[in-house]
Amino acid sequence: MKTNIRTWLAPILALTASVIISFSAAAQSDPLPSWNDGANKQAIIGFVEAVTKPDGPDFVAPGDRIATFDNDGTLWVEHPMYTQLAFALDRVKALAPQHPEWKTTQPFQAVLEGDMEALGKSGMKGLMEIIGVTHAVMSTAEFEKITSDWIATAKHPKFDKLYTALVYQPMLELMDYLRANGFKTFIVSGGGIEFMRPWTEKIYGIPPEQVVGSSIVVEYKVIDGVPALMRSPKIAFIDDKEGKPVGILTHIGKRPIAAFGNSDGDYQMLQYTTTGPGKRLGMFVHHDDAEREYAYDRKTHFGMLDKGLDDASKEGWHIISMKNDWKQIFPK
């Protein structure tokens, strides 16, 4: 008696379908698919499960589920220089035809000649001069347009991609995962608050009112009968190191229960976050993947991680290895 091939294949097809469905369900249930399985991934998932379990001892009400993220080096590339610095240098070049004296005046001469050593020697004074001519003496609306136009076209020198394409896929997943579990996510960055606000919602899903950053003095003026907010070259607030907890208090008004950074500039933010009552989570992104991105920590001009590496263990902070913890770096 001949065996019907359909009858013979049916159990095999059913088993295959079952396996495919199981793998598919597993993939869908993984909230962090770009993270390799390991201690850091499990620490994140365990933390979220603990603070969201209603009858658990570590439960945190949704309104208090605050997570803060540094931006440069934590959410996107910060080498070979901070993106905002690249913006400022491009602005100097764009404005140079209106200022022929810059060809022989530092620090502008260094920018125009691409002399980073001379630019570095100009120090904070030189940087403030550059900020003064590229970020100030204009309205906030004008600055937002300039920033938006630049970020829409500027490309990274190494990867030849838009800066906004060089965000870290694992961190995007992490923010989505936290928000799906009732967290409110904030950027707390040393970068300029008005430099970040025009694009963070589109790129990170973080609206402008949830961005904390450094700022310059802004003054209300009426110009030709029209009210305007004018940017001056005076620094109002530096949201870095000790300034980050102050910025959190001023802008958010609640202590976070989770904080993520990548440098010693984030040390105090993690310290402030993790010394609060209840279950807490503090993590540093460690740039140790020269092949896919960059490798640096203790000896670098941008994003130095020295004290944070030394103290992470005793403070209970996690060190995220880009090389070992992340399956991919950037969105595909």
Question: Under DSSP, is residue 183 helix (H, G, I), strand (E, B) or coil?
Answer: coil
The DSSP symbol for 230 reads: E
pTM across the whole model: 0.88
Residue 77 banded pLDDT, cuts 50, 70, 90 = very high
Please give the share of the chain, as a percent, with pLDDT higher than 90.
Answer: 82
What CATH homologous superfamily does 33-80+163-325 map to? HAD superfamily/HAD-like (3.40.50.1000)
Averaged pLDDT for residues 97-109: 93
Q: Where are the domains of the chain?
A: 33-80+163-325
Q: Which residues of 229-259 are buried (b: 16+ CB within 10 A; e: fewer)?
A: ebbeeeeebebbeebbbebbeebbeebbbbb
Task: Give me the pLDDT at residue 28, please.
Answer: 54
131: pLDDT strictly greater than 90: no
Question: What single letter denotes the amino acid at residue 319?
Answer: I
Residue 170 main-chain phi, psi, to 5 deg:
-60, -35
Q: Which two tokens stand for residue 132?
A: 């003064």
pLDDT in tens, 42-63: 999 999 999 999 999 999 999 9
Tokens 């400022």 found at: 88
Helices 267-274 and 243-251, interaxial angle, to 10°? Answer: 60
Taking only the tens place, the pLDDT of each residue in 224-280 is 999 999 999 888 999 999 999 999 999 999 999 999 999 999 999 999 999 999 999
How many C-beta atoms lie closer than 10 Å to residue 52's C-beta?
A: 17
Instruction: Residue 217: count other Cβ atoms within 10 Å of its Cβ.
Output: 13
pLDDT higher than threshold 80 for residue 3: no
Average pLDDT of the chain is: 91
